[in-house]
């Protein structure tokens, strides 16, 4: 599947306007219609990024509505209605502070130093740095077992093989301090074609221990997870997590009504 030209145009213009905005994972997959756009920016930039996304959406995406969701901790979610692509919605997320488990990591300003503008005009993490993101989320675990499969395996293997310097640079600045050494050592083992369970365990444990150093952040994440686990997630979170961002059979107008009733901001961008 070829990249969606509307998504490329949308992200290219946002890249031009915001020097610290970075798409930090799974960009190629999202451009081909598989999943959402995961971007990150410093907290003070979030309002202007979100406002610009709305201002260009009708022109670049052909969007008629946007549903704004502020119910996910440390993120601003926007769901754009593209009439020509219904029932599929386009989700654009901007994260002000990524987390692994309950611990903060990958500060957006630090990620911007590991990013580059691609030939299509979109700023994303360099391959080695994106490999570290996939390794942290999908590789390390309490058991130390190698959990990488499918797309994540390809991202890690290719990123380390083609951009080991970028992977090392990411290990030096993105993880919490106690996780940096074991994660870098694990990367060096992967570069040689092997997996070190002990170092993977140490890296995971270091992320876990870092929750104690950030009680306010960790508490906010705990509250968000408890809300979701208790079945109280908002309608847009449920749509994203369980229904592939697709408008239910009850129709768009019903979804827009439920979103408004659930405290979301719904904006009309052009005649629907």
Please name which of 190, 126, 186, 197 lies closest in space to residue 153, comparing C-alpha atoms.
Answer: 190
Which pLDDT band holds residue 272 (cuts at 50, 70, 90)?
very low
Alpha-carbon distance of 169 to 106, in angstroms, equals 12
Per-residue pLDDT at 271 exceeds 60: no
DSSP category for residue 88: B
- What is the reported pLDDT for 184? 98
Instruction: State pLDDT tens for residues 239-257.
Output: 999 999 999 999 999 999 9
Residues 6 or more apart in contact with residue 18 via CB below 8 angstroms: 41, 45, 48, 49, 52
Asked whether the beta carbons of 173 and 113 are under 8 A apart, the reply is yes
Alpha-carbon distance of 180 to 183, in angstroms, equals 5
Counting every residue, how long is the chain?
272
Instruction: State pLDDT tens for residues 115-128.
Output: 999 999 999 999 99
- What is the reported pLDDT for 215? 85
Cβ burial of 35 (10 Å; 0-12, 13-18, 19+) is middle
Characterize 144-158 residue by residue with b for buried, 16 or more Cβ atoms within 10 angstroms of its Cβ, and e for exposed: bebebeeebeebbbe
Sketch the domain layout of the chain as residue ranges: 1-96+233-272, 126-232
Asked whether the beta carbons of 77 and 89 are under 8 A apart, the reply is no
Cβ burial of 143 (10 Å; 0-12, 13-18, 19+) is exposed
- For residue 143, what are its two tokens? 């058991």
pTM: 0.93
Instruction: State pLDDT tens for residues 89-139.
Output: 999 999 999 999 888 999 999 999 999 999 999 999 999 999 999 999 999
Ramachandran assignment for 231, one of left (phi > 0), alpha (psi -120 to 50 degrees), beta (any other): left
Alpha-carbon distance of 218 to 133, in angstroms, equals 20
Per-residue pLDDT at 2 exceeds 70: yes
Which pLDDT band holds residue 233 (cuts at 50, 70, 90)?
confident
Alpha-carbon distance of 214 to 176, in angstroms, equals 11
């Amino acid at each position: 599947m070829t990249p969606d030209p509307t998504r490329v145009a949308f992200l290219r213009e946002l890249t031009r306007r915001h020097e610290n905005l970075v798409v930090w994972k799974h960009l190629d997959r999202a451009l081909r219609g598989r999943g959402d756009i995961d971007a990150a920016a410093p907290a003070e930039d979030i309002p202007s990024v979100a406002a610009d996304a709305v201002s260009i959406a009708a022109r670049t995406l052909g969007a008629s509505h946007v549903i704004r969701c502020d119910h996910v901790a440390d993120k601003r979610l926007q769901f754009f209605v593209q009439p020509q692509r219904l029932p599929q919605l386009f989700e654009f997320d901007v994260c002000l502070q990524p987390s692994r488990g309950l611990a903060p990591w990958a500060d957006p300003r630090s990620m911007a130093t590991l990013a580059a503008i691609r030939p299509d005009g979109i700023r994303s993490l360099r391959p080695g740095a994106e490999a570290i993101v996939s390794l942290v989320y999908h590789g390390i675990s309490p058991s130390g077992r190698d959990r990488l499969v499918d797309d994540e395996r390809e991202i890690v293997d290719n990123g380390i093989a083609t951009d080991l310097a970028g992977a090392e640079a990411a290990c030096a600045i993105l993880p919490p301090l106690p996780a940096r050494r074991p994660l870098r050592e694990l990367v060096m083992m992967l570069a040689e074609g092997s997996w070190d369970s002990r170092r993977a365990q140490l890296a995971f444990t270091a992320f876990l221990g870092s929750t104690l150093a950030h009680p306010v952040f960790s508490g906010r994440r705990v509250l968000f997870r408890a809300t979701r686990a208790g079945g109280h997630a908002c309608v847009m979170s449920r749509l994203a997590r369980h229904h592939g961002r697709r408008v239910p059979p009850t129709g768009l107008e019903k979804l827009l009504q439920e979103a408004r009733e659930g405290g979301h901001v719904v904006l009309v961008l052009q005649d629907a």
